[in-house]
């Protein structure tokens, strides 16, 4: 009878060790996945800290708005399709009614489509078609509504990693 207790105890210890091993392997996988996620978030935040854009020289003409976007940070901006433009302006001089537009990027915008595109990048010597640090993107936005001369507008462009540049502008003819 004593030998049966020893065997049962031995089997119980083996089952406990096997269960502990399975739990440790599971926790190890979860910790690896969590560590990878934290590293990815850290890399994204690092890119955000190194990204800076300046929006300048906003000029209006009818339905068109031209602007300059300078990459004054240290990160290359590569995917214009992931960038958004927000445009807000007063509809008329008489009231404070504001109109806000979201304009997506289009490499070749359709006629009369609310969108923005780049017309050129200068100097574009290192990585053609990408906005490297120190380069300036010259762009054009089109909106269906005509802007009211003398009213105030605001433009914001957000990069693919969430950093934005914005500026006020006066609507001119």
Beta strands in 25-125 (DSSP E): 53-61, 64-71, 84-90, 98-104, 115-122
What's the DSSP call for residue 15? H
pTM: 0.76
Tens digit of pLDDT for each residue in 76-116?
999 999 999 999 987 666 767 788 999 999 988 767 789 99
What is the per-residue pLDDT for 97? 79
**Are 60 and 150 contacting, i.e. CB atoms less than 8 angstroms apart?**
no
The closest of 142, 137, 110, 104 to 123, measured between CA atoms, is: 137
**DSSP-derived secondary structure for 136-162:** EEEEEEE-SSPPPTT-EEEEEEE-TTS
What is the per-residue pLDDT for 1? 56
Q: What are phi and psi of 33, to 5 degrees?
A: -65, -40
Question: Is the pLDDT score of 71 beyond 90?
Answer: yes
Q: What is the token pair recorded at 173?
A: 């003819």
Q: Domain 53-170 class?
A: mainly beta
Tell how strand 152-158 and strand 136-142 pair up. Answer: unpaired
What's the DSSP call for residue 81? G
The closest of 58, 67, 64 to 136, measured between CA atoms, is: 67
**Are 77 and 159 contacting, i.e. CB atoms less than 8 angstroms apart?**
yes
């Amino acid at each position: 009878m004593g030998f049966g207790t020893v065997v049962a105890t031995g089997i119980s210890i083996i089952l406990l060790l096997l269960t502990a091993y399975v739990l440790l392997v599971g926790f190890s996988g979860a910790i690896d996945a969590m560590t990878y996620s934290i590293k990815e978030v850290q890399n994204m935040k690092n890119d955000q800290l190194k990204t800076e854009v300046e929006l300048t020289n906003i000029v209006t003409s009818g339905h068109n708005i031209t602007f300059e976007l300078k990459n004054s940070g240290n990160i290359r901006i590569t995917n214009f399709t992931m960038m958004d433009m927000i445009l807000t302006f007063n509809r008329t001089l008489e009231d404070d009614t504001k109109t806000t537009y979201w304009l997506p990027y289009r490499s070749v915008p359709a006629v009369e489509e609310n969108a923005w595109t780049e017309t050129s990048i200068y100097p574009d010597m290192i990585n053609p078609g990408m906005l490297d640090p120190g380069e300036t993107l010259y762009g054009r936005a089109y909106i269906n509504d005509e802007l009211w001369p003398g009213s105030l507008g605001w433009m914001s462009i957000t990069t693919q990693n969430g950093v934005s540049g914005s500026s006020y502008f006066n609507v001119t003819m």
